[in-house]
Amino acid sequence: MKLICANFKMNLLENDVLNYLKKINNKINKKNTIFFPSIPYIKLFSNKNYQVGSQDISFLEFGSITGDISVNQLIELGITYTLVGHFERRKYFDDDKYISKKVKLALKKNIKVILCIGESMKSSDEEIYNFLKDEINEALENNLDLIKNDNLIIAYEPIWSIGSKVIPDNNYLINTISFIKDYIKNTYQKDIKVLYGGSVNLENIDILEKIKKIDGYLIGGTSLNYEDFLALTKKIK
């Protein structure tokens, strides 16, 4: 069963979320769907027994970091997953520096990590693979003893595809996702699931579904509208 992850980013207000929850009631497979709403609304999902995650966590467990949120506080709200290293966190918050610490802290607390990686533009295969290797090594090499039983998943999101309505062609995706899986297997002896993220929508999902190597999706814009999201989930096998 593929994982379906809905990343709301900084969208929707409380009334929108309440309405969303009403409309999706009994229409979502709770086993393979995980919602990543904004922090104030996490509890609205966990109270209804949806699987819910945080879009980020602090790299520190406690301390004086104004504006940050601790994994312990998020656990109290009901999260069982967190994204780490989403492109938008790397871009606006210098997240590259903290990836390894965030992965370690989440895994220690038994929170599953969806590690986001992806290159910034279509360059040579070698450049793309080297870039992805660096992002993988940064997150994994100091945390190997903590990675087990699917508690770390990769979301491959080419930056140029996020919010652009453009997705990579199937060969590009097959090659890149194979590279990620093979590299992690050969270097770290771990079998890691890889999700695809970036402009997943109702027009392209049938094309993406042809790629057997994709283990699920991280969906931004299309997850914000409950009708589109429900229609999308029906097409994912």
Q: Please give the residue ranges that form the binding site for ligand 13P (CB under 6 A).
A: 7, 86, 157, 162-163, 197-200, 218-222
Compute the distance between CA of residue 184 and CA of residue 191 in angstroms, rounded to an integer: 7
Task: Tally the C-alpha atoms within 13 A of residue 52's C-alpha that lie toward its C-beta.
Answer: 22
Angle at 142 between CA 140 and CA 147, to 5 degrees: 55
> C-beta of 181: minimal distance to ligand 13P in Å?
20
Contact 90, 77 (CB under 8 A): no
Measured between alpha carbons, how far apart are the two ends of the chain, in Å?
Answer: 7
Tokens linked to 187: 């270097």
The tokens for 158 are: 């080419």
Contact between 186 and 144 under an 8 Å Cβ cutoff? The reply is no
Kindly give, in sequence order, each residue whose CB lies less than 8 Å from that of residue 224, ignoring residues fewer than 6 positions away: 8, 11, 12
In degrees rounded to 5, what are phi and psi of residue 164? -105, -10
Of 2 and 188, CB closest to ligand 13P:
2
Smaller CB distance to ligand 13P: residue 78 or 198? 198
Q: Which of 64, 63, 164 is nearest to 121 (CA)?
A: 164
Smallest gap, in angstroms, from Cβ of residue 58 to ligand 13P?
Answer: 19
CB closer to ligand 13P, 122 vs 185: 122
Q: Which residue is nearest to ligand 13P (CB)?
A: 220
What phi and psi, each to the nearest 5 degrees, are found at residue 219? -115, 125
Nearer to ligand 13P, 17 or 200 (CB): 200
Quote the least distance from Cβ 114 to ligand 13P, whole Å: 9
Indicate which residues carry an active-site annotation. 86, 157
Q: What is the C-alpha to C-alpha distance for residues 144 and 160, in angstroms, rounded to an integer?
A: 30
What is the closest distance, in whole angstroms, from the C-beta atom of residue 197 to ligand 13P in the complex? 4
**Minimal distance in Å, beta carbon 82 to ligand 13P?**
13
Q: Of 145 and 206, which CB lies nearer to ligand 13P in the complex structure?
A: 206
